[in-house]
């Protein structure tokens, strides 16, 4: 009788166990949806509830995706409890990463950024370590719980899944679930089963504006849509014949290279999070001007503003535009990660100067593998690339927690003095990158607004103090460059506004200004003022060649034609030659179509234009 009661007890526990698995299988996707969507909506679950109520079809589709993922892991691990816990562990990590990115840049996490997990050494300096520790402990707890549950039910309740029928069922389930999930991630293709289902349910995706895409369709569907999307859509009229027509047209408009001496050193400085505080002084009141020297340069040298497509981050996209003269208006994600790192001999300002027998060098006082720069710079054709491990000067000065600009400039000067060849040097700085020294406080640059909380005042004070250091360092650099007899030109621009939502108040009222940073062209041999207005980074090289009187390739002739009508171009903001905002319909010009075809040809196409010497000077 005792044994029968014991057997009944085990039998009852098994029923409870299987029931719990079924409940968990249906409950977990619901909880995970709320977590992931919450990470996109500042964890305001009233907003999450509103989203679910207003978008039932999107919620059902998102739920289905998460449900299939839970079952997929369950098929691998052998039980739903383990599958749910592992799925939850992964989704918690994704939700944390998305929340951090939203806080820093007001832009959601996209799939290709998951590959940056290999850059943990680089990323760990940019996040809150106490939060990261809590997440890590939570993941360890869930992993331990998984092993405990499997041990307890396998040995204590004698539940096993070693039967060949069970194994066969798991295998069939895994194959079915894999096919289903693979079909769903094709949703970016409107002709796929998932794409047609989305259309049938009235779900519309906005590939040209991923922020709105995520807002309208939720994090789960927005993320899924981007898993299998191309770096750039193929234009319908892309073929060799049309590329040949474009190449021929702009070759006819391009002047041939003359025997005029081309002997100007060129230095590109993309300064991390560098902005002009005067442009936001209507919202943020502070003491002294943090950048007096650069303000003077902006008045006396060719200058303007750079319209960038990013806010609070996305440095690699601005860098891509500045170095290649292509535009992220046409692309998805980060070209450095999804395309440029795979294309050998990618045309750029680097290859332009290589053809003129310049020595080309890149300096970046951070880890070389970030954004796959080690591969990208090799494809651009840089002779040398020095990261933080190779650079000689890597000192840090408060309030920054990264390498000081002045230190990095010492390596620039060292490189300039290394030999007699003409040189092109690219410096991507780090000093003004978040986070800033939390103990730093400057009375000179203290924010006076009563409406801003103390923590933000502290952060902005530190940021303005860091800008002041950048200003001083650049002054010292120009003093040294002025002593050099060889002609030298410096192109300086800020990559984007700082992260961590320091400028949230400005972001909410002036979208254009939070996407504009200072740009100027300084030389040690001439001082002449010219107003460039607002241009995109893709026009930086075009303007440089005009200023230093260097010849252009047929490709850059096309870029010059583009500037005459559309000097500033991002996914969300487009400006005409009068710096007035224009709508998408006004972008339908012949030069824009030529531009699109050439960019596709190089990024994902057959490279017809490169084979036809479109990116080379005419002799």
Whether the per-residue pLDDT at 150 is higher than 80: the answer is: no
Q: What is the pTM of this model?
A: 0.82
Q: Which residue has the higher pLDDT, 162 or 557?
A: 557
| Judgement on whether residues 217 and 314 belong to the same structural domain of the protein | no
φ/ψ (deg, to 5) at 403: -60, 130
Range scoring the smallest mean pLDDT among 13-22, 103-112, 593-602: 13-22
The predicted-structure confidence for 35-59, as pLDDT tens digits, reads as follows: 999 998 888 999 999 999 999 999 9
| Judgement on whether residues 459 and 530 belong to the same structural domain of the protein | yes
The predicted-structure confidence for 285-316, as pLDDT tens digits, reads as follows: 887 899 999 999 999 999 999 999 999 888 99
Whether the per-residue pLDDT at 159 is higher than 70: the answer is: no
pLDDT for the residue numbered 365: 96
pLDDT for the residue numbered 152: 65
Which CATH number do you get for residue 471? 3.40.720.10
| Judgement on whether residues 218 and 303 belong to the same structural domain of the protein | no
How many structural domains comprise the chain? 2
Residue 3: pLDDT band with limits 50, 70, 90: very low
- Residue 275's closest CA among 266, 286, 262? 286
H/E segment holding residue 535? strand 531-535
- Tokens linked to 577: 């030659």
Residue 243: pLDDT band with limits 50, 70, 90: very high
Residue 121: pLDDT band with limits 50, 70, 90: low
* C-alpha distances out from residue 152 to 6, 11, 168, 400, Å: 17, 15, 24, 51
Whether the per-residue pLDDT at 592 is higher than 90: the answer is: yes
Query: 185: domain range?
Result: 10-226
User: Does 598 reside within a domain?
Assistant: no
**Burial class of residue 382, CB neighbours in 10 A (0-12, 13-18, 19+):** buried
Residue 107: pLDDT band with limits 50, 70, 90: confident
Whether the per-residue pLDDT at 154 is higher than 70: the answer is: no
Average pLDDT in the chain:
88
The predicted-structure confidence for 499-552, as pLDDT tens digits, reads as follows: 877 888 888 889 899 999 999 999 999 877 789 999 999 999 999 999 999 999
| Judgement on whether residues 83 and 144 belong to the same structural domain of the protein | yes
Q: Packing angle between helix 240-252 and helix 554-565, nearest 10 degrees?
A: 80
pLDDT for the residue numbered 619: 87
Dist. CA 538–CA 598, nearest whole Å: 14
The predicted-structure confidence for 429-444, as pLDDT tens digits, reads as follows: 999 998 887 777 666 7
φ/ψ (deg, to 5) at 401: -110, 15
| Judgement on whether residues 138 and 280 belong to the same structural domain of the protein | no
Contact 335, 603 (CB under 8 A): yes
| Judgement on whether residues 215 and 280 belong to the same structural domain of the protein | no
Whether the per-residue pLDDT at 125 is higher than 60: the answer is: no
- Residue 317's closest CA among 345, 339, 293, 346? 339
- Residue 55's closest CA among 223, 218, 219? 218
Mean pLDDT of 404-419: 95
Cα atoms found within 13 Å of the Cα of residue 603, Cβ hemisphere only: 29
User: Does 593 reside within a domain?
Assistant: no
Q: How many CB atoms lie under 10 A from the CB of residue 360?
A: 26
| Judgement on whether residues 320 and 369 belong to the same structural domain of the protein | yes
Helix (H, G, I), strand (E, B) or coil at 543: helix
pLDDT for the residue numbered 2: 43
């Amino acid at each position: 009788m005792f044994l029968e009661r014991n057997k009944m007890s085990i039998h009852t526990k098994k029923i409870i166990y299987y029931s719990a698995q079924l409940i968990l299988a249906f409950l977990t996707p619901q909880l995970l949806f709320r977590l992931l969507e919450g990470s996109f909506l500042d964890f305001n679950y009233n907003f999450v509830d509103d989203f679910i109520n207003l978008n039932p079809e999107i919620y059902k589709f998102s739920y289905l995706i998460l449900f299939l993922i839970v079952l997929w892991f369950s098929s691998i691990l052998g039980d739903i409890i383990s599958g749910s816990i592992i799925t939850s562990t992964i989704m918690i990590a994704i939700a944390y990463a998305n929340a951090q990115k939203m806080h820093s840049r007001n832009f959601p996490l996209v799939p290709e950024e998951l590959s940056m997990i290999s850059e943990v050494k680089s990323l760990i300096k940019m996040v809150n370590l106490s939060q990261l520790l809590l997440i890590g402990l939570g993941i360890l707890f869930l992993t331990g719980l998984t092993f405990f549950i499997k041990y307890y039910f396998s040995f204590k309740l004698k539940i096993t899944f070693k039967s060949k029928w069970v194994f066969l069922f798991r295998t069939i389930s895994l194959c079915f679930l894999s096919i289903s999930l693979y079909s769903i991630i094709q949703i970016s293709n409107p002709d796929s089963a998932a794409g047609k289902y989305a259309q049938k349910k009235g779900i519309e995706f906005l590939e040209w504006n991923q922020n709105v895409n995520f807002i309208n369709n939720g994090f789960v569907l927005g993320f899924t849509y981007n898993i299998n999307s191309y770096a750039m859509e193929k234009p319908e009229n892309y073929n060799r014949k049309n590329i040949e027509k474009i190449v021929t047209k702009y070759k006819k408009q391009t002047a041939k290279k003359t025997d005029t001496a081309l002997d100007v050193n060129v230095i590109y400085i993309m300064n991390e999070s560098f902005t002009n505080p005067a442009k936001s002084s209507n919202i943020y009141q502070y003491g002294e001007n943090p950048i007096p020297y650069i303000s003077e340069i902006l008045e006396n040298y060719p200058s303007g503003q750079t319209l960038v497509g990013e806010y609070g981050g996305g440095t690699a996209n601005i860098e891509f535009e500045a170095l290649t003269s292509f535009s992220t208006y046409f692309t998805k994600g980060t070209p450095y990660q999804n395309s440029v790192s795979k294309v050998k001999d990618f045309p750029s300002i680097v290859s332009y100067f290589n053809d003129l027998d310049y020595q080309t060098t890149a300096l970046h006082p951070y880890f070389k593998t970030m954004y796959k720069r080690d591969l990208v710079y090799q494809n651009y054709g840089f002779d040398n690339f020095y990261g933080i491990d190779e650079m000689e000067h890597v000192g840090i000065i408060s309030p920054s927690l990264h390498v000081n600009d002045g230190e990095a400039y010492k390596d620039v000067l060292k490189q300039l003095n290394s030999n007699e060849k003409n040189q092109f040097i690219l410096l991507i700085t780090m000093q003004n990158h978040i986070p800033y020294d939390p103990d730093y406080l400057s009375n000179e640059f203290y924010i006076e607004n009563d409406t801003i909380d103390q923590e933000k005042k502290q952060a902005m004070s530190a940021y303005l103090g860091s800008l002041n250091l950048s200003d001083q360092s650049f002054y010292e650099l120009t003093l040294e460059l002025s002593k050099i007899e060889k002609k030298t030109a410096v192109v300086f621009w800020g990559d984007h506004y700082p992260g961590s939502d320091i400028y949230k108040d400005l972001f909410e009222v002036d979208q254009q200004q939070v996407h504009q940073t200072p740009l100027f062209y300084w030389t040690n041999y001439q001082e002449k003022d010219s107003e460039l207005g607002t241009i995109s980074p893709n026009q930086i090289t075009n303007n440089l060649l005009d200023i230093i009187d260097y010849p252009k390739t047929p490709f850059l002739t096309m870029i010059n034609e583009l500037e005459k009508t559309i000097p500033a171009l991002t996914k969300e903001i487009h400006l005409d030659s009068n710096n007035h905002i224009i709508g998408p319909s006004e972008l339908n010009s012949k030069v824009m179509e030529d531009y699109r075809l050439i960019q596709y040809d190089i990024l994902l196409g057959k490279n017809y234009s490169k084979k036809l010497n479109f990116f080379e000077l005419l002799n």
